[in-house]
Amino acid sequence: MEVRPLSELYTNIKPGYYGEFGGAHVPPALNKNLSRLEEAFFKFKDDKEFQDEFIHYLKKYVGRPSPLYFAANLSKEVGSKLYLKREDLNHTGAHKINNTIGQVLLAKRMGATEIIAETGAGQHGVAAATAAALFGIKCKIFMGAVDIERQAANVSRMKLLNADVIPATSGTKTLADAVNEALGYFIKNPDSFYMLGSQVGPHPYPNLVGYFQSVIGQEARNQIFEAEGRLPDSIFACVGGGSNAIGLFQGFLADENVKIYGAEGGGEGEIPKTAATLSMGKIGVFQGTYSYCLMDEDGNPTTSYSIAAGLDYPGISPQHAYLKDTKRVSYQSILDQDAINAYVTLSRKEGIIPAIESAHAVAMAMKVMKDKNGLAIINLSGRGDKDVERRLENFIYNKFI
Ligand X SMILES: *Cc1c(COP(=O)(O)O)cnc(C)c1O
Say how far apart CA 126 and CA 190 lie, in whole Å: 23
Which residue lies nearer to ligand X by CB, 99 or 374?
A: 99
Say how far apart CA 102 and CA 50 lie, in whole Å: 9
Which residue lies nearer to ligand X by CB, 317 or 375?
A: 317
Q: Is 279 in the site for ligand X (CB under 6 A)?
A: no
Say how far apart CA 364 and CA 279 lie, in whole Å: 14
Question: What is the closest distance, in whole angstroms, from the C-beta atom of residue 79 to ligand X in the complex?
Answer: 26
Catalytic residue (choose from 75, 214, 306, 381): 381
Q: Respond yes or no: is residue 381 known to be catalytic.
A: yes
Sites for ligand X among residues 283-312 (CB under 6 A): 310-311
Q: Is 315 in the site for ligand X (CB under 6 A)?
A: no
Question: What is the closest distance, in whole angstroms, from the C-beta atom of residue 384 to ligand X in the complex?
Answer: 9
Cβ proximity of 243 and 84 under 8 Å: no
Say how far apart CA 294 and CA 275 lie, in whole Å: 8
Question: What is the closest distance, in whole angstroms, from the C-beta atom of residue 313 to ligand X in the complex?
Answer: 8
Strands (E), 50-128: 68-70, 81-86, 114-119
Which residue lies nearer to ligand X by CB, 357 or 374?
A: 357
* Residue 266: φ, ψ to 5°: -80, -15
Which whole-number Å values give the CA distances from 163 to 128, 129, 168, in the listed order? Answer: 9, 6, 15
Which residue lies nearer to ligand X by CB, 37 or 309?
A: 309
Alpha helices in 161-236 (DSSP H): 175-188, 205-213, 215-228
User: Among 240, 262, 281, 315, which residue interacts with ligand X (rule: CB under 6 A)?
Assistant: 240
User: Judged by CB under 6 A, which stretch of 106-114, 163-171, 242-250, 365-373 contacts ligand X?
Assistant: 242-250
Residues 6+ apart with CB under 8 A from 362: 74, 236, 342, 343, 345, 346, 354, 378, 380
Say how far apart CA 203 and CA 319 lie, in whole Å: 11
Which residue lies nearer to ligand X by CB, 24 or 238?
A: 238
Q: Say which DSSP state 295 is in.
A: B
Q: 190: cis peptide before it, omega within 30°? A: no
Say how far apart CA 324 and CA 318 lie, in whole Å: 10
Say how far apart CA 281 and CA 348 lie, in whole Å: 35
Say how far apart CA 234 and CA 170 lie, in whole Å: 43
User: Among 208, 355, 363, 376, which residue interacts with ligand X (rule: CB under 6 A)?
Assistant: 355
Sites for ligand X among residues 174-233 (CB under 6 A): 198-199
Q: Say which DSSP state 303 is in.
A: P
Q: Respond yes or no: is residue 327 known to be catalytic.
A: no
Question: What is the closest distance, in whole angstroms, from the C-beta atom of residue 144 to ligand X in the complex?
Answer: 16
Which residue lies nearer to ligand X by CB, 101 or 375?
A: 101
Which residue lies nearer to ligand X by CB, 33 or 123?
A: 123
Catalytic residue (choose from 118, 181, 264, 350): 118
Q: Is 242 in the site for ligand X (CB under 6 A)?
A: yes
Say how far apart CA 361 and CA 221 lie, in whole Å: 18
Q: Is 265 in the site for ligand X (CB under 6 A)?
A: no
Total residues in contact with ligand X, by rule CB under 6 A: 20
CB atoms within 10 A of CB 209: 29
User: Judged by CB under 6 A, which stretch of 43-51, 175-183, 238-246, 363-371 contacts ligand X?
Assistant: 238-246
Q: Respond yes or no: is residue 268 known to be catalytic.
A: no
User: Judged by CB under 6 A, which stretch of 24-32, 151-159, 239-247, 390-398 contacts ligand X?
Assistant: 239-247
Which residue lies nearer to ligand X by CB, 198 or 374?
A: 198
Catalytic residue (choose from 45, 96, 140, 259): 96
CB atoms within 10 A of CB 232: 26
User: Among 22, 23, 125, 241, which residue interacts with ligand X (rule: CB under 6 A)?
Assistant: 241
The residue with its CB nearest to ligand X is 382
Mask for 109-138, x = binds ligand X (CB under 6 A): --------------x---------------
Cβ proximity of 352 and 326 under 8 Å: no
Please give the positions annotated as active site. 96, 118, 381
Positions touching ligand X (CB under 6 A) are 94, 96, 123, 198-199, 238-245, 310-311, 355, 357-358, 381-382
